[in-house]
């Protein structure tokens, strides 16, 4: 197994140990374009749950500021949807990491 495949797969698997830091370091340190491509894809997938979290916090602020009963469920909806998206991102990263390791 060559090191570029292992490094690319580790960018995806880093969702468990260093989701933002590891792909950024790999992107700036490596010179191989294929590894950079995988590092960028994994970084964007690791950032997706963060953006959902920011949106749900924004929903909480809007619901608290307006005192409108119809918006009271907005933060909780954001938390549920964010949790589901986070789970899907983890599954997607594991699948992509395995696919990279199995490439010819």
Tell me what pLDDT residue 62 has.
77
- For residue 2, the 8-state DSSP code is -
Please compute the mean of the pLDDT values over residues 9-24 and round it to a whole number. 92
Using the predicted structure, report yes or no on whether residue 26 has a pLDDT greater than 80.
yes
Residue 15, burial from CB neighbour count under 10 angstroms (0-12, 13-18, 19+) = buried
Query: Does residue 76 or residue 16 have the better pLDDT?
Result: 16
DSSP 17-62: T-TTHHHHHHHHH---HHHHHHHHHHHHHHHHHHHHHHHHHHHHHH
Domain ranges for the chain? 3-102
pLDDT in tens, 45-101: 999 888 888 888 887 787 778 877 766 677 777 788 888 999 999 999 999 999 999
Q: Name the packing angle between helices 21-29 and 33-66 (round to 10°).
A: 150
Matching residue, tokens 């949807």: 81
């Amino acid at each position: 197994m060559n090191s570029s495949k292992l490094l690319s797969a580790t960018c995806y698997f880093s969702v468990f140990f260093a989701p933002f830091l590891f792909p950024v370091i790999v992107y700036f340190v490596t010179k191989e374009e294929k590894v950079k491509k995988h590092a960028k894809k994994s970084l964007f997938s690791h950032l997706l749950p963060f953006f959902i979290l920011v949106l749900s916090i924004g929903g909480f602020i809007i619901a608290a500021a307006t005192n409108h009963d119809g918006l009271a469920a907005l933060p909780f909806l954001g938390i549920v949807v964010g949790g589901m998206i986070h789970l899907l991102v983890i599954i997607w990263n594991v699948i992509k990491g395995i696919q990279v390791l199995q490439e010819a």
